[in-house]
Amino acid sequence: MTTPAGAPKDRLGAGRSSGSGSALSELGPRGRALAASLGAALKDAPYVVRWLVLGAIVGASAGLVVVAFVRTIGVADQHLLAPLAGYHAPSTYANGGQPGSLHLVRPWALPLVVGLGGLLGGVIGLVVPEVRGSGTDEALRAVHENPRALRLRSIPAKILASACTIGSGGSGGPEGPSAQVAAAVGSWLTRLLDLAQTDGRVAVAIGLGSGIGCVFRAPLGGALLSAEILYRQDAEMELVVPSAIASIVGYTVFGAFQGFGPLLGFPGQSYVFRHPLNLLWFAVIGVLAAALGTAYIASLSLVRRLAARLGPSRVARVLGPTLGAAATGALAVGMPGVLGAGDGWAQRALGIGVLALPLWFVLLMPLAKVAATALTVGSGGSGGLFSPGMVIGAFTGAATWRLLRHLAPGLAHDPAPFVIVGMMCCLGAAARVPLAITVMVAEMTSSVGVVAPALLAVGLATLLIRQLDLSLIDAQLGSRDDLPARRLATALPLLETQRVDDCLQPPSLVLPGSTTATQARAALADQHLPGAPVVDEQGRFVGVLDLAQLEEAEPETPVGRLCDRQAVTTAPETRAALAAASLVNAGRGWLPVLDRHRRVQGILTAGDLVRASRHVVLQSLRRAASAGPAAATLDAEIHPHSPLCDRRLADAGLPPGVVLVAVSRGPEVVVPDGQTVLRAGDLVSLLVPQAARQQVQALLDPPEPEEPAGPSEDGRGPGPEPAASAEGASAPGPCHGNGRPGG
């Protein structure tokens, strides 16, 4: 149980004291027992049942927190931007479709009001640092690194900080914060139910998607977003089904409070693609949207670098979002459309009423919104990037339509198709989620008919931004191969064939939660350990204690209050490859291994995995060498009536020189030995000498069915029974797998 001194900690909480962050610590004995029982039942449940239950819980919780968030923004708007600055933004179709106005009653007050919102958000960020920024990045880091890491207290903190920022006029959207608070629900459930690392990762990811799906009233788009947003050039489509369950449940709960129907658009109006020449104009929008998406990403990066120069002090962390918000307010004096999320302005751009807006406003709006969002969110303010991205794209499409309406043949008579395609292109390409955003915008605007021709523009914009390898979301990885755990599994491929209980070692030290900081420091120093698991009075795991947590602790403080309760753990039955992923994400060089009752069974380190993998490699090489140079490969499935079914490999009677290399059993790969029991449905890979091929095939194939007895020679009855074979063997009965392969 060793780790290099000063090893970097996980960005999402490894090494962080989180006494208030444990879900189980907030429950009484009955609550803990109920949570443990439910968690154990879900672990044993079939995949469909498990995700029907978990998806519904995550979705319903996401719907409720997003309702609370949207209503809090409304309250902030009523008490900040509207009364203090006298500005009334247009509203979306779902919120009444009020046209708003460009007129400012007190323009001089805008920098003060928006700056005040940034100040309030910055102060909240001092107490809960994870509320800074868009929120989507925090949620994605939890998926990639530690699904237990999003603290429950981040939910009210993110809601308040974002409501202050957006409600006062800061240029940010509600979807990023919605993604973070909904993902935090999935993280809380992961801790509460003690979900496996893989299930916790899914719970956080579907929380992210359902939160965005709720706020945009686009459940299908939210489900696809969960799968597509994790990587720039890859997707995890296996997330779509659980995410669809969470998204539709979340949308149902959200709609019960906020109403159903699309966020934007005009129900009943549909677009029909009739003029092929329009593909040319859509391609123009794709190129322009790619240029503006690139400017959007670059502007955010520039402001973040400038804000970082203020330093890490507490004053700087408040000063950054305050100055950024005040600068947004100053920009809004000339361009009021940049205030707030801006989705009401996207609503105005959809209709023919966009002709009532000054041409200069329509042309400058995309660039102004880019600058305002970079100032608000890039400086550390709390707000999402998706809604502003859609507004940028909407006015890109509207400006293109205004400029071409009298010049281009076959152009649509209203700007809606151009605006919708612009929204899809700009955000889909910049965030590297073209499929999800295309579906989401179609749901938001009830405009499915525009999707087919829009794919050309969206694909073109995505290809152009992809060439630059840019993304609006910093926490996105390039592909699954960029996961540190995937690189470790690639280097040690036989980890897929092992379980954690084949690799772990007994714990050198386990600390009771009542141990004082002084006693813990002495115990760790005595055994030269960097940390140890902490247990409660019943012997159940509480958290992980590192030496760093003892540096500033009071001498008599119990370690139960100091330990990291969100630490990554694993279970004995977990595949070693998945445990390797958890080990990489833990950031401390070792993992506690817990049984179903959360009792510490052992410690897993990277060295344990390497030694176990080396043992399997040597074992496999010795077996393969015995097959001889003339052996050929043979892959087959064990039939329920095969003579090999339900038999130990030592008793299978394989001919000399035949080597059973591997057994694939569902998602598990088993490296066999003499005690391995072959089961029906197992896929086996063998090395077979040519002379033994027919004999091995006979063992793999089911026995031939017996011919029905014919009439006797005198025609009065069946003939005599056939003689028993020399071996006296009968066909085996149905196969029932009986336990895990031995080793």
Q: Could you report the per-residue pLDDT of 97-106, keeping only the tens digit for each? A: 888 888 888 8
**What is the pLDDT averaged over residues 164-182?**
93
pLDDT exceeds cutoff 70 at 492 = no
CA–CA dist 268, 408 (Å, integer): 27
Task: Yes or no: say if 620 and 671 are a contact pair by the CB < 8 Å rule.
Answer: yes
Domain locations along the chain = 47-90+102-262+272-480, 484-610, 627-699
CA–CA dist 286, 265 (Å, integer): 21
Q: Could you report the per-residue pLDDT of 380-395, keeping only the tens digit for each? A: 999 999 999 999 999 9
**What is the pLDDT averaged over residues 733-737?**
36
**For residues 129 and 624, which has the higher predicted lDDT (pLDDT)?**
129
**What is the pLDDT averaged over residues 52-78?**
93
Letter string b/e over residues 673-712, b meaning 16 or more CB atoms within 10 A of that residue's CB:
eeebbbbbebebbbbbbeebbeebeebbeeeeeeeeeeee
Query: What was the pLDDT predicted at 730?
Result: 35
Task: Yes or no: say if 738 and 680 are a contact pair by the CB < 8 Å rule.
Answer: no
Fold match flag (47-90+102-262+272-480 vs 484-610): no
Helix 278-308 vs helix 359-378: crossing angle, to nearest 10:
40
CA–CA dist 592, 609 (Å, integer): 14
Q: Could you report the per-residue pLDDT of 509-537, keeping only the tens digit for each? A: 999 989 999 999 999 989 888 899 999 88
Query: What was the pLDDT predicted at 678?
Result: 86
Query: What was the pLDDT predicted at 732?
Result: 37
**For residues 577 and 541, which has the higher predicted lDDT (pLDDT)?**
541
Say which residue the tokens 């603290």 belong to: 151
**For residues 195 and 120, which has the higher predicted lDDT (pLDDT)?**
120
Residue 742 binned pLDDT confidence (cut-offs 50, 70, 90): very low
Q: How far is CA 85 from CA 167, 169, 346, 602, 660, in A?
A: 12, 10, 22, 61, 77
Residue 733 binned pLDDT confidence (cut-offs 50, 70, 90): very low
Task: Yes or no: say if 491 and 323 are a contact pair by the CB < 8 Å rule.
Answer: no
Q: Which of 179, 222, 200, 251 is nearest to 50 (CA)?
A: 200
Superfamily of domain 47-90+102-262+272-480: Clc chloride channel (1.10.3080.10)
CATH of domain 484-610: 3.10.580.10
Query: What was the pLDDT predicted at 629?
Result: 67
Q: Which of 87, 154, 133, 151 is nearest to 114 (CA)?
A: 87
Residue 191 CA, chain-centre distance (Å), reads: 16
Query: What was the pLDDT predicted at 569?
Result: 85
CA–CA dist 172, 554 (Å, integer): 42
Q: Which of 525, 526, 544, 553 is nearest to 589 (CA)?
A: 544
* Partners of 604 in the β-ladder: 591
Q: Tokens for 92, please give them.
A: 């979306």
3-state secondary structure 588-622: CCEEEEECCCCEEEEEEEHHHHHHHHHHHHHHHHH
Residue 708 binned pLDDT confidence (cut-offs 50, 70, 90): low
Strand 511-512 to 531-535 pairing: parallel
CA–CA dist 310, 110 (Å, integer): 24
CA–CA dist 591, 288 (Å, integer): 49
In the chain, pLDDT over 70 holds for what percent of residues?
85
Q: How far is CA 558 from CA 225, 417, 514, 553, 588, in A?
A: 43, 63, 5, 9, 22
Query: What was the pLDDT predicted at 614?
Result: 74
**What is the pLDDT averaged over residues 438-464?**
91
Q: Could you report the per-residue pLDDT of 200-251, keeping only the tens digit for each? A: 999 999 999 999 999 999 999 999 999 999 999 999 999 999 999 999 999 9
Residue 523 CA, chain-centre distance (Å), reads: 38
CA–CA dist 441, 450 (Å, integer): 10
Q: What is the largest CA-CA distance in the chain?
A: 117
pLDDT exceeds cutoff 70 at 421 = yes
* Class of residue 179 by CB neighbours under 10 A (exposed 0-12, middle 13-18, buried 19+): buried
Q: Which of 420, 411, 465 is nearest to 444 (CA)?
A: 420
Query: What was the pLDDT predicted at 289?
Result: 95
**For residues 541 and 412, which has the higher predicted lDDT (pLDDT)?**
541
Sign of torsion, CA 681 683 686 690?
positive
Q: Tokens for 221, please give them.
A: 């788009």
Instruction: Kindly report the CATH class assigned to 627-699.
Output: alpha beta
The mean pLDDT value of the chain amounts to: 83
Q: Could you report the per-residue pLDDT of 587-625, keeping only the tens digit for each? A: 778 889 988 778 899 998 878 877 777 777 766 666 666
Apex 597 CA angle, 185 and 533, nearest 5: 80
Q: What are phi and psi of 648, to 5 degrees?
A: -70, 150
CA–CA dist 591, 586 (Å, integer): 7
Query: What was the pLDDT predicted at 728?
Result: 35
Query: What was the pLDDT predicted at 7?
Result: 36
